[in-house]
Amino acid sequence: MKRRRDEAAEMEIVWQTPANPPERHDYIFRNGKRHVRPYYFEFISHVKNRWAGKTIVDLFTEEFKGRPYDYYVNAVQSGRIQVDGEMVPVSYIVRSSQKISHFVHRHEPPVLALDVSVLQKEPDVLTICKPASVPVHPCGQYRKNTVVGILQAEHGLAPLFPIHRLDRLVSGLLILARSASKADSFRQQIEAGMVQKQYIAKVTGVFPDDEQVVNVNVNYNAREGRSTVGNCCGNTPLKGKSACTKFTRISTNGTHSIVLCEPITGRTHQIRVHLQYTGHPIANDMLYLSEFSVDRSTKGLSADRAAANSGCSLPSSSPKSCVDEYCDDNSTVDFSIDPMCTNCPNLTPKGYDEDEEGLWLHCIRYCGPDWVYECPHPEWASHD
């Protein structure tokens, strides 16, 4: 352990914060995935009242369970964990509101190596076709591997203000304002119910040929990362928030159907759980296909939960202090291996499902009082 601390101390490290913009060279493309070259990052938090009175090591061990106790001891002793900008002993007792910095070698989960294509660029509005698997903005383990990050790194577009949200696994039209005032204008129209949204989905079975309106509450469970429809028992009120979606079949081949989805409200996973409610879930939606949803949710393997999964463990092999090399389209790319990192020497963080794919759910159209934006249909929307 002392050898690892000495190696870490000798490394020349440049720490990043959210103020450091993503750059084109930050990305590594390998096996159909867009990876982010690991980088050093300062996570900052402030001591909550319930944390006060704990030792710095016990605080991290109990509240951030992704790494083992020995890692946190080592991190405090080497200065990777600091309090109010100062190194402290492992026995240090934290006090409420103190600033805690955790300096880590950050590995972001990969996303599918698809272009973030610009559809329309106006002085105050940008529309893009969002690839599946890419989150819209920084969240969880994702910071550079996001739509906003990629647009800044590869197109020089910043600042950008997303005016609506698409789940990470959903593709299609994304509207971004190029000023805060324009974003506020869009949001006011959305909140006033003046904006209509259209998606298409590929679902199981033959969807009914007449319009289906699902008006059933949606209850999102953040711990499980999935929604359920509300139900009532006797005089018990419906659980969740009111939600309404209109569905219209576009086509079917007898095995799958392409369905137009028009959400009237905007609840988490609303279209996905409402399609499940109709008996025609999205055909590759492992979270809501009834025969898989319970099993995958229990095991924590669903792609939806990967973003929030910060689980890390010590690598099975000894950490390397040299440079690890990977082949990328016949060229060599490398990144430095950090001796204290619990993800190195791998490029992908531990706990990530490498086999995920994008959902067959795609946003095709948003329209307001005096504007319309559209996105081309994806290849899976054809039965040919």
> Can you identify the CATH homologous superfamily of domain 111-306+355-381?
Pseudouridine synthase (3.30.2350.10)
Instruction: Please state the pTM of the whole predicted model.
Output: 0.81
pLDDT tens, position by position, 71-109: 999 999 999 999 999 999 999 999 999 999 999 999 999
- Structure token pair of residue 316: 């099975």
Angle formed by the axes of helices 56-63 and 69-78, nearest 10°: 140
Longest dimension (CA), the chain: 70
pLDDT tens, position by position, 273-316: 999 999 999 999 999 996 544 433 333 334 444 334 333 222 22
Burial per residue of 171-185, b for 16 or more beta-carbon CB atoms within 10 angstroms, e otherwise: bbbbbbbbeeebbee
**Cβ neighbours of residue 268 under 8 Å, at least 6 residues apart?**
218, 220, 227
Burial class (CB in 10 A: 0-12, 13-18, 19+), 226: buried
Query: Hey, is 217 helix, strand or coil?
Result: coil
Query: Hey, is 372 helix, strand or coil?
Result: strand
Q: Is 370 a catalytic residue?
A: no
Angle formed by the axes of helices 2-10 and 69-78, nearest 10°: 50
CA dihedral angle for residue 283, residue 285, residue 287, residue 290, rounded to 10 degrees: 0
Q: What are the beta bridge partners of residue 249?
A: 259
E-strand stretches of the chain: 27-30, 33-36, 39-46, 81-83, 99-106, 111-112, 117-121, 125-130, 161-162, 171-177, 196-204, 212-215, 218-221, 226-229, 244-252, 256-263, 323-328, 331-336, 361-367, 372-374
The C-alpha R_g of the chain, in whole angstroms, comes to 23
Q: Are 354 and 303 in contact (CB under 8 A)?
A: no
Q: Are 40 and 106 in contact (CB under 8 A)?
A: yes
Topology agreement, domain 2-106 and domain 111-306+355-381 = no
Q: Are 288 and 281 in contact (CB under 8 A)?
A: yes
Query: One digit per residue, pLDDT tens: the chain, 384 residues?
Result: 444 444 444 556 788 888 889 999 999 999 899 999 999 999 999 999 999 999 999 999 999 988 899 999 999 999 999 999 999 999 999 999 999 999 999 999 999 999 899 999 999 999 999 999 999 999 888 999 999 999 999 999 999 999 998 999 999 999 999 999 999 999 999 999 999 999 999 999 999 999 999 999 999 998 888 999 976 555 555 678 999 999 999 999 999 999 999 999 999 999 999 999 999 999 999 999 965 444 333 333 344 443 343 332 222 222 232 233 333 433 444 688 998 998 999 999 988 877 778 999 999 999 999 999 999 999 999 865
Q: Catalytic pick from 167, 324, 328, 353?
A: 167
CATH class of 2-106: alpha beta
As a whole number of angstroms, the distance between CA 162 and CA 136 comes to 8
Domain limits, the chain:
2-106, 111-306+355-381
